[in-house]
Structures are given as C-alpha cells and as structure tokens.
Chains A and B, each alone.
Chain A
Amino acid sequence: QTVVTQEPSLTVSPGGTVTLTCASSTGAVTSGCWPIWFQQKPGQAPRSLIYRTSDKHSWTPARFSGSLLGGKAALTLSAVQPEDEAEYYCLLYYGGVQPWVLGGGTKVTVL
C-alpha cells in the first residue's frame, strides 16, 4: 500500500517562511504525480491551493508556492500571516487501481 507522508506539525512566526513536504513510499515524487495541496481550517471544507506541483488557482495568495524539493513535493509559505494557521494536505496521483493517495496532513501553527 502506497503511503504519502507529511510532517505532522510545524510552527512558524508571523512574517516568517515555512516549507511543508510530501514524500512517497514508492520513491521520488515527480511532476507526473500531479501534486495537489489543500488547506483546511477548523469547521470549514478544504480549499485547493496548488495543483500540478506549482500551479495556483486565482484565489491562491501569492505567498503560497509549490515545488519539488529533494524528491518530495513541497509547499512553501512566505511572509506567513496569522490566517495561514491551518491543516495542509497533499494529494498525489499514481494511476492504477488506487489512483490517488492523500497525505496525513501538516498542522501549521503561527506563533
């Protein structure tokens, strides 16, 4: 069974920068995995931020960016704002019988 691993939690100061990563048990994450990043705040539905590694939606704040870093998908939050405190999830595409696998999420605390 494929497992996608994210940091359970990260803490960042307001105005700082933090990078979240998304690793695959099958090996390096590539652009072919179509990495997707979601943000979820308590009591709210998830909101999509990044798709196909680094593409942004029209509503995605400029301070969010996606990339591949050291064999993992990465989400970087720059100039972090208090409202960025949330849970962040990555979703990777593998095709086959179970085509997508979701990471366990990273709780980002802004402190």
Chain B
Amino acid sequence: NAGVTQTPKFQVLKTGQSMTLQCAQDMNHEYMSWYRQDPGMGLRLIHYSVGAGITDQGEVPNGYNVSRSTTEDFPLRLLSAAPSQTSVYFCASSYSRDATYGYTFGSGTRLTVV
C-alpha cells in the first residue's frame, strides 16, 4: 500500500547514543517533514524538506539533523540522545508545502531515552 513508512516502531536509547529514524514515502511527494508529539502538546515541527537536497529547520530543531538525498527518503538523526528527546516521532509528506492536499503521516516511532 502506498504511504509513509517509518522504522523502527519502538526504540530505547541510552543518553549520549546516536541513532537514525527512517522515513520513506512512495507517493512522489516533494514535501516531507518530521514532528514530535509529547503528552499534552500539539505536534511540533522539527525539520522539513521541500525537495531533494533542500532542508530547513522547524520550531524544535536542536539535537536533530536531517538530509534529503532522494525524493523518497527523509531520515532523522539524533546526534547525542538526551532524555528530553523521549517522544513519539512522526514523519509526514505532502504534494505541496502549503498542505492544500493534506499530509500523509507515518505510524510513528516511539523513542525512549534513559
């Protein structure tokens, strides 16, 4: 089925470890983004990309890196995990940056940093 695929679904890290959250879409969407969702808070934008080779920061980018070498993939890297990065992470994609066509979200990655 077409959509946004995130891996892994669950991950436990120790403080200071690094890891990459994978995101892939097969809908030829130009726009991709990463959000984190914490209890009692709305989804917050971490980084986004409007096309291959182009990335930009969202509202909470510190501690995260992204790259967009292909249209399909948009990995999120945690350089040195901290307990404050414990959260559920969602990748989303869309045809356009103005979200007229809506966003397709992945099923999420639940990350715990101990």
Do the two chains bind? no
